[in-house]
Structure formats: structure tokens, C-alpha cells
Chain A
Amino acid sequence: NAGVTQTPKFQVLKTGQSMTLQCAQDMNHEYMSWYRQDPGMGLRLIHYSVGAGITDQGEVPNGYNVSRSTTEDFPLRLLSAAPSQTSVYFCASSYYGDEFEAFFGQGTRLTVV
């Protein structure tokens, strides 16, 4: 099992550009989520999905879109990048078991200039 795979690992965007961060998991987990991590702020939930075809907003959804057409994939789209979106982005998946632990991908470091 590869676990949770995120691409790219690093990205530099210009203000106003759009892009998609990819996230795929091969563990057949129903739940997937996206977080951003900023210094001193911990991890903040952007969007999440409880299964294919179902998505919902988290704590900081503005400026981001998601879709979940398959169980495996959960891409995050930045519609018009802004410097405030410079951050490290993590995708995670979880299964509905006793512990519901989050399995994280390696992260994408995004810089918007």
C-alpha cells in the first residue's frame, strides 16, 4: 500500500493563477480531508468528504474547491491563488473504525508570489 499520495511536493504560483493539488489513497477509506498548516496555527480543515459524491466545508474553505468522484481521489482546487494561500497543504484519509485515525500524505508546500 502506498497510503496517501500527494502531488506535487512543491509549487510556486503567481497571484491569480489556478491549480489543482492531487490526493489519492489506496486504503479504501471513505473519509478524506484537506488541511493547511501555517506557523503557530496548527492544522486547519479546509474541506472534507465522507464518501464518493459527498463533500462539505471545513473551518477555512474560502478560495478552495473540492470534488470526490471516486473513493480514491480527492483533489483540491485553488481558484485564483492569493499570497494568503501560501502554506503547507496536507491531505488525509480515515476509515470508520474504532479509532478513526487520520493517515496523512507527505504534504505540498505552496508559495504564491
Chain B
Amino acid sequence: GQQVMQIPQYQHVQEGEDFTTYCNSSTTLSNIQWYKQRPGGHPVFLIQLVKSGEVKKQKRLTFQFGEAKKNSSLHITATQTTDVGTYFCALLTGNQFYFGTGTSLTVIP
């Protein structure tokens, strides 16, 4: 089946530092979605990217889809303690969702 590799698995940052997580695939993706899961919570949809080279912003979050549509990134500028959680990328192919393994972000006050 489809696989998306996500790195890093864990990231600890000081509050105010930037954070980036990467999602990579060996095949061309038709779309990529990003979700956030707070500790003890459930995944919540953040955004979907479908176009080559697409960049979308949500306040301090910047999402990017690679030109070859084989990778994507989520960048958080000036992290805050509210950013704590696990960030997942996911792709929908056919009628199946495939999730990356997630990046767990810890923000140290």
C-alpha cells in the first residue's frame, strides 16, 4: 500500500523557536492533508494541499506541497505552548486514508 514517511518522530523546542515536520513519499501524491492531535485527544484536520508547489498559511503555520508532489512540510513559526501535540500528514488514495507516523512536538516554556 501507499506509504508516507514522516520525520522527525520527535521534536523538542524552546518556546519561540521554529518547528518543521516533513512528509515524504516515493510516489507522486494527488493530495496531502495535515492533522493535529493534542495529547489525549483525537486528530483534527488542519489543511489539504492538492497543487504542485502549493503554499498555504494559517497564522503561524505554513504548509507546502513539493513541486514533484512527493513531499510536503509543515512549518510553525515562533512556537507556543498551545502548539504541543502530534502532527500527522495523510494522503487519500482511492477511498483509503494513509497516515504518516506523526511528529510529536514538545514546547518547553
Residues of chain A touching chain B, judged by Cβ–Cβ distance below 8 Å, are 31, 33, 35, 40-45, 48, 50, 56, 58-59, 90, 99-107
Contact = CB atoms under 8 A, between A and B. Distances in A.
Given A40-B9, A43-B43, 17 more contacts: A33-B97, A40-B101, A42-B6, A45-B96, A48-B96, A50-B95, A90-B42, A99-B48, A101-B48, A102-B35, A102-B43, A102-B90, A102-B97, A104-B42, A104-B43, A105-B42, A106-B42
Contact of A101 (B1, B45, B101): B45
Contact of B99 (A31, A44, A48): A44
Give the top 10 A-B pairs by smallest Cβ distance, nearest first: A101-B45, A104-B42, A43-B99, A42-B101, A42-B99, A99-B48, A104-B43, A42-B102, A107-B42, A106-B42
B55 interface: no
Contacts of B1: 59
B98 to A, nearest CB: 7
Contacts of B6: 42
Contacts of B9: 40
Contacts of A31: 95
B85 interface: no
Contacts of A105: 42
Contact of B44 (A44, A100, A104): A104
Given A40-B101, A42-B88, A43-B88, A103 B45 contact: yes
Interface of A is mostly: strand
A56 B96 CA distance: 10
A91 B32 CA distance: 20
Contacts of A106: 41-42
A48 B1 CA distance: 15
A42 B97 CA distance: 12
Contacts of B35: 102
A58 B96 contact: yes
Given A31-B95, A45-B98, A59-B1, A101 B42 contact: no
B92 interface: yes
